[in-house]
Structure 1
């Protein structure tokens, strides 16, 4: 049995072979395997050098200073550290956080946990395009607002927020601005300085790097304080203790360096794939596009299919690897909270699937996927049509 066509790049990307090659060199006795915190011998120095080189590679992609890069176990931990660490450290200044109802669960669940601690959260509802406007944010701001957290790119829709405009509103009220940029890294031009971003979460495995490694960018500012969530050794400027996983860090660094070099080429490739995909499905009736194509990254397309439900369609699409939404929420049989959050009707939300492409997706795979979708729709809709005709 042949492997399914993989169109779930928004959930995770396969590691680029060039990334794996670098990682392997930092695992075994004949490579650079020592603890980077061991500064009393050459192997430790070499490991530290590898970590610092990767720190620079990540910083280069987002326009940061390498000293502003804090290693974490992934973007989920980075989001938790940004929200919980910041709110706890700054509770004397204010206890109000602003975010949106369609953020990634790593933000949503953390904000809910902060509410249980006594912090106040204002939940913004984006427009039908999945974007928050500066005017919406301005209306939500208060004197005691200390942090705004709004994602760069929505992981189910691909919609892109105007981070520069949103951060300007936050700063106008004296608050800090955090963004979950997991789906933006390597796909959008990111410059934390120009965009006015104070905190940014990114991940390795969404950019053709390894899982289990991420970064929280923390602007170097004596007034920006983060309370550590993990203690034991004071690593990462006291913000995140723990022995650094050199091979994963090197992998993320290499992945981000490649993403910087290939961002335009990867973007053109994704645009071509999306156009081919949508053109191929244009002859099918009853398809609705939830993603705002003009204000979205090209690698994510969220579609609804009339006359079917998403779970049945997923089963019928046995030749494709796709999802009904975020991989972090895929165990739920409820419709996507993101689609519900932008006002998609319940029945249509249940009939929606996210397709996401990547660096290694081919035109042939897109054509194969289109044929698979046509076949599945025909098979699922015919019984319903036959029943209606019989009546």
Structure 2
């Protein structure tokens, strides 16, 4: 019908006007990656080849720096400690854990002194890869994990192990076929692996367009607070976590009212917490009434200055609308 065609046309026009700024949640596939996946599906379709209980100690970040401190990690080591895991860059604040190489160094020293369990060091580099230089040798870690959909690759993960089975232990969690050196059963997902490998060859820039925080300040002035600014701490160049202050400007309400901006209030893996403020921001010392208004805006390689300008205007109009409704 004419109504259905008009509605479909309207929906297409609206989708074309939306501006995506949630690149910390997921990124689109690069054209070269889609081609690599497609080729692998056509040409490489063949076969290429228990419960555990543990005590966990959670170390909070510093409310001054927004990052985990080396001395706090070392102080938390217990006689039975066997693994230390540190996120290389936080997915909500973008704060980079620059002390990780020193943590690795201190742990190596502890391992020389101890006649007990060897401590291994793992880092989650999912948010860091493609945004800042990541060198496993400089980090000094035993394990490093990445996931493709954070840097323009398919939804597939990878684990780096420093000398798997020799220098660093690696044990299977599931058992079956031995085609992957007995580390895991099952058949490798060749197309997704090809896509992940293709991104590695694309030479993704280590810096991406940074949001113009001066622009936000010029529009919202004393109504805005940047939740990821900590003295002496570095943050990912694409990530801004901010709150627009006001009793009716909760993050979820602002985003649901915006006409063009597609962003988030925090990490998707914590979305089950509903509309409660992010515990990550609370642990960083952000007051609850500020944290509940948080918006995480993360730009990507293709974000333009004009899109940033449009998002600022979209937010300005949304804030005015919500305040007028109160």
Give the TM-score taking structure 1 as reference length: 0.72
- 2:71 aligns with 135
Q: CA deviation at 1:223?
A: 4.8
Q: Which of 314, 320, 325 is residue 378 of structure 1 equivalent to? A: 320
Q: CA deviation at 1:2?
A: 2.3
> 2:69 matched to 1:126?
no
1:174-217 CA deviation, whole Å, 9 max, x = no partner? 21100000001111211112221100110111110011x11111
Distance 1:131 1:170 in 2: 18
Q: Which of 263, 270, 277 is residue 322 of structure 1 equivalent to? A: 263
> 2:200 matched to 1:263?
no
Stretches of structure 1 that go unaligned for 5 or more consecutive residues are: 38-84, 89-113, 385-391
Distance 1:189 1:318 in 2: 35
- 1:157 aligns with 93
Q: Is the 8 A contact 1:323 1:355 kept in 2?
A: yes
Distance 2:198 2:287 in 1: 42
1:280-302 CA deviation, whole Å, 9 max, x = no partner? 21121311111137510111111
1:1-391 aligned at under 5 Å gives the runs 1-3=13-15, 4-28=18-42, 31-37=43-49, 117=53, 119-128=54-63, 129-162=65-98, 163-174=100-111, 175-211=119-155, 213-220=156-163, 222-258=166-202, 261-264=203-206, 267=207, 269-271=208-210, 274-275=211-212, 278-283=213-218, 284=220, 285-292=222-229, 295-307=234-246, 308-333=249-274, 334-384=276-326
SS of 2:200's equivalent in the other structure is helix
Taking a change above 3 Å as real, the CA distance of residues 262 and 223 of structure 1, as seen in their structure-2 partners, is closer
Distance 2:181 2:131 in 1: 29
Which has the higher mean CA deviation after the structures are superposed, 219-228 or 126-135? 219-228
Q: CA deviation at 1:130?
A: 2.5
1:56-87 CA deviation, whole Å, 9 max, x = no partner? xxxxxxxxxxxxxxxxxxxxxxxxxxxxx9xx
1:226-266 CA deviation, whole Å, 9 max, x = no partner? 321122212433222221111100000111221xx2324xx
Moved segments of 4+, more than 4 Å: none
Q: Which has the higher helix share?
A: 1
Distance 1:246 1:374 in 2: 46
Distance 1:282 1:319 in 2: 20
Distance 1:153 1:206 in 2: 12
Distance 1:301 1:365 in 2: 15
SS of 1:2's equivalent in the other structure is helix
Q: Is the 8 A contact 1:171 1:177 kept in 2?
A: no
Distance 2:180 2:309 in 1: 46
Q: CA deviation at 1:144?
A: 2.2
* RMSD value, Cα: 1.8
Distance 1:340 1:320 in 2: 25
SS of 1:237's equivalent in the other structure is coil
- 2:116 aligns with none
Q: CA deviation at 1:18?
A: 1.0
Q: CA deviation at 1:330?
A: 2.0
Q: Is the 8 A contact 1:23 1:247 kept in 2?
A: yes
Give the TM-score taking structure 2 as reference length: 0.85
Distance 1:295 1:315 in 2: 30
